[in-house]
Every structure is written in structure tokens, then in C-alpha cells.
Amino acid sequence: MIKETLAQIEELGGRALAAIKESADLDTVNDLRVKILGKKGELTAVLKTMGRLSAEERPVIGARANEVREAVEKAISEQMKKLKLLHYESRIRKEAIDVTLPGKRAASGKPHPMSIVLGDLKDIFRSMGYTVVTGPEIEETRYVFDMLNTHEGHPARDESDTFYVSDDVILRTQTSSVQIRTMLENKPPIAVISPGRVFRRDEVDATHSPVFNQCEALVVDKGITFADLKGTLETFMKRLYGSSVKLRFRPHHFPYTEPSAEVDLSCFKCGGSGCSMCKNEGWIEMLGAGVVHPQVLRNCGIDPEIYSGFAFGVGLERITMMRYEIDDMRHLYENDIRFLKQF
């Protein structure tokens, strides 16, 4: 009896393993599992006859039957894994696509290039401890001119240069008016940038626009010096253009700063050896700067014997045009989508 049963098990095991190995798809393997290991499966049927065996025989048969069962299970699982892989491989081959086809985009819009530049400036100055302030664009002459030592009769106030709304209300020609308002409303320490639109009576051409954007900075505190202005501008420019740029300070004149400077940047395109961008000078005129004139501080109720400050201003259009090598300022205000998409 035991021999018979053992032979039956061996035969069943051998047949099952061969069938599993030969099975070509997952369904066949599944069927085999049911057929052999299922409730009504062949191996189960064999085991059901175990009751007829003696107590000594049972464990021998049982052990062997379990070995065969495990071997069959293992073979099934291996075969399934192999077939699955084959199945997927074939599917993958069928599903291959042309990856060079254009992508399907949820196209995002883009910020205006000047916004990108302004964003960089804000980041740089915020990281240096400055806050960002704004003010009205239609402004009183006293904030744009008088309090900045630009008195009645100064050419900057001419109707040929400045847009007037009335005798004492104009479109601001610089965001320095925001600095005046800031100084009037706050006590030092002050460290602000004031980005915004300004207006000058220039006809539109490749390098001029009656509307343009400035970003001015003002620091007022105890012991602020010309050296601080230099160091701040160097840090600012290096963060904006990379650490290899050099700055050159040239004496200049503004009514609201003394000493005043114009600041040149070593040409970031040629590195100073001379190219078309810097007109072969190696330097590019970047901005105006200076130590705040004591009278300006006094005008704003700040005692110049105690406090001092510096200020500077850059043109956003200029930085933007140089960064992206835009050759005509009109592009910035024409808003052609083919232009706007590029940045």
C-alpha cells in the first residue's frame, strides 16, 4: 500500500513539474495549480487516501507528499514569474513609442523678463536685510524734486523732460520720491529698495521709453560711509552677475548725493577686453550712486550730525536688456507672445 502510494506521489510530482515547465501562459499554470494542489486536485486526492494508512506509514507519506507539494508550488511560482516577465516584455515591445515626438504640455505662462530681473534684485536685497517699499507714481514735485535739492528752475523740472499734471503734481521721474516718503515716515535704521515705474519725456526708440522701471536703494543709519556704498554695490553686482565682475567708481554729480558716483561694471560679455556690448571700453555704465546729501536728510527730519546714508538706483530695462541681450527696448513694452515666451 505504502509503496503504491509513494509511487503515485512520485509519478504525480514528476508529471506536474514537467507540465508546469512546459506551460506557456499564466492561465495554464493556474489551471495546473488547481488541478494538482486545489481542493479537488490530484495531490489532495492522494493525501485524502492517507487515512487508510497505518500510523507508522502516515508520516513517511506525509513528509514526502509535502516535499512534492512544496516543489510543485515553487515550480509554479517560478514559472509564473518567468511567464509574467515574458508577458510584460512582449507587451512593452508592442507598446514602444517614438520618444522623439513632441511632449504634451500643460503650458505655463512666463513672467516678463523685467519681473525676473526684479525678482532677482528683491532676493538679493532681502538677503542683505533690506525691505521693499513702494509709493505713488503720480507724485508731488516736492517729493520728487524740492526735497531732493532739485529746486525750481533746475533743468530736470522742465516741461520738456517731465510730465506734468499740474504745477506741483507730476509723473515721478525717479523712485527717490519713495525714499523721501520712507524717511519721513520711518526712523533709522532704514534699508529699503523702492522698485517701480518712472516717467520721462523721451520719445520711444531702441534705447528710450517714456515709461521705464527703476530700482533704487537707500540705507540710513549711524556711521554709514562711502566705503559702505562701495562694498554694498560690489556685493550686489557680484550676486547679480557672478563673482568675477569688477566695479569702477567714477566721480559724478547728483543734486541729492555728495559725494556722488557713476558706477561701471567690467563687461560681463568680454570680461573687460572690449566687445560690441561695452563699445570696446571694457566697462559698462551701470548706475548712479552716492552718499545722501545732508540737506536731504535734514529735509526728512533726520539729523545729519547723527545719521548718514547712501543711495543708488539702477534701471531695470538696462539690466534686463543686457542680461538677455535684447537689442531694442520696444520689445519690452510690445508684449508679442513670441518675445514673452523666451524668458
Partner 1 sequence: MNLSLKWLNDYVKADMKIEKFARGMTMSGSKVEKWTDLSEPLKNIVCGRVISIEKHADSDKLWVAQVDAGNNAGESAEGGTVTGGSPVQIVTGAQNVTANALVPVVLEGGVVYNFHDGTVTKISRGKLRGVESCGMMCSYNELGLTLEDLPYADKDGILILDSDPEAAKLEPGMDMLEFLGIRDIAVEFEITNNRPDCLSVIGLAREAGATFNLPVDVKKPAFKGVDGELNLKVRIENKELCSRYMGAVVRNVKIAPSPRWLTERLRASGVRAINNLVDITNFVMLEYGHPMHAFDKRYVDGDEIVVRSAAEGEKIVLLDGEERVLCADTLVIADAKKPIAIAGVMGGEFSGIMDDTKEVVFESACFDGVSVRKTAQRIGRRTESSARFEKGIDAANAENALLRALELVELLGCGEVVKTIIDEDFSCREPVKIKFDYKRINEILGSDIPENKQKEILKRLGFEFENCQSNDNCQLCVVPSIRIDMALECDLAEEVARIYGYNEIPSSVPRVFSGVASAPELAFEEKVGAVVQGQGCHECMTFSFISQKSYERAGIEDCESVIIRNPLGEETGVMRTSMLPSMLEVLARNYNNRNAAGRFYETGTVYLPSDNKLADEKKILCIGLYGESEDFLTLKGIIEELLERLGINAKLTPIISNKSYHGGRCAELTADGDVLGVMGEIHPLVRDNFDIGTRAFCAELKLEKLMHYSIAAPKFKQLPKFPAMTRDLSLLCCPEITAGEIAEIISGSAANLEQVTLFDMYTGAQVPEGKKSMSYKLVFRKKDATLTDEETDKAVAKILRALENKNITLR
Residues 30-49 that bind partner 1 (CB under 8 A): none
Establish if 282 lies at the interface with partner 1 (CB under 8 A). no
297 contacts: CB under 8 Å, gap ≥ 6: 183, 220, 303, 304, 307, 308, 309
What DSSP character marks residue 44? H
Secondary structure element (H or E) that encloses residue 184, with its range: helix 176-185
Grid coordinates standing for 234?
Answer: 560690489
Across the chain, where does the E strand assignment appear? 131-132, 138-140, 164-166, 169-171, 190-199, 211-221, 247-254, 257-266, 283-292, 308-315
Establish if 148 lies at the interface with partner 1 (CB under 8 A). no
The span of 45-53, 74-82, 85-93, 248-256 binding partner 1 (CB under 8 A) equals: 248-256
When the beta carbons of 211 and 275 are compared against partner 1, the nearer one is 211
When the beta carbons of 100 and 335 are compared against partner 1, the nearer one is 335
Among 173, 174, 176, 232, interactor with partner 1 by CB under 8 A: 232
Residues 175-194 contacting partner 1, CB under 8 A = 182, 186-192
When the beta carbons of 81 and 341 are compared against partner 1, the nearer one is 341
Establish if 221 lies at the interface with partner 1 (CB under 8 A). yes
CA 207 remoteness from chain centre? 29
Grid coordinates standing for 37?
Answer: 494542489
Name the minimum Å distance from CB 164 to partner 1.
Answer: 4
Among 32, 65, 171, 300, interactor with partner 1 by CB under 8 A: 171
Among 67, 158, 205, 328, interactor with partner 1 by CB under 8 A: 158
Residues 191-210 contacting partner 1, CB under 8 A = 191-192, 197, 199, 201, 203, 210
The SS3 assignment for 209 reads: coil
User: Which amino acid does the sequence have at 298?
Assistant: R
Residues 122-141 contacting partner 1, CB under 8 A = 128-134, 136-140
Establish if 74 lies at the interface with partner 1 (CB under 8 A). no
Name the minimum Å distance from CB 269 to partner 1.
Answer: 21
Establish if 250 lies at the interface with partner 1 (CB under 8 A). yes
Establish if 104 lies at the interface with partner 1 (CB under 8 A). no
When the beta carbons of 68 and 245 are compared against partner 1, the nearer one is 245
Helices 316-324 and 113-127 meet at what angle, rounded to 10?
110
Establish if 82 lies at the interface with partner 1 (CB under 8 A). no
Name the minimum Å distance from CB 284 to partner 1.
Answer: 14
Establish if 27 lies at the interface with partner 1 (CB under 8 A). no
The span of 12-20, 32-40, 77-85, 148-156 binding partner 1 (CB under 8 A) equals: 148-156
Name the minimum Å distance from CB 42 to partner 1.
Answer: 43
Burial environment of residue 28 by CB neighbours within 10 A (0 to 12, 13 to 18, 19 or more): middle
Give how many residues touch partner 1 by CB under 8 A. 86
Helices 226-241 and 113-127 meet at what angle, rounded to 10?
130
User: How far is Cα 129 from Cα 97, in angstroms, rounded to an integer?
Assistant: 53
When the beta carbons of 73 and 137 are compared against partner 1, the nearer one is 137
Among 51, 103, 153, 301, interactor with partner 1 by CB under 8 A: 153
Establish if 112 lies at the interface with partner 1 (CB under 8 A). yes
Is residue 228 within 8 A of residue 219, CB to CB? The reply is yes
Which of 196, 199, 195, 254 has the alpha carbon at shortest distance from 229?
A: 254
Is residue 283 within 8 A of residue 267, CB to CB? The reply is yes
User: How far is Cα 76 from Cα 16, in angstroms, rounded to an integer?
Assistant: 9
Establish if 120 lies at the interface with partner 1 (CB under 8 A). no
Instruction: Mark residue 115 as left, alpha or beta (left: phi above 0; alpha: psi -120 to 50; beta: remaining).
Output: alpha
Q: Which residues, listed in sequence order, are joined to residue 78 by a DSSP beta bridge?
A: none
Establish if 101 lies at the interface with partner 1 (CB under 8 A). no
- Positive or negative torsion for Cα 161, 166, 167, 169: negative
User: How far is Cα 312 from Cα 309, in angstroms, rounded to an integer?
Assistant: 11
Establish if 266 lies at the interface with partner 1 (CB under 8 A). no
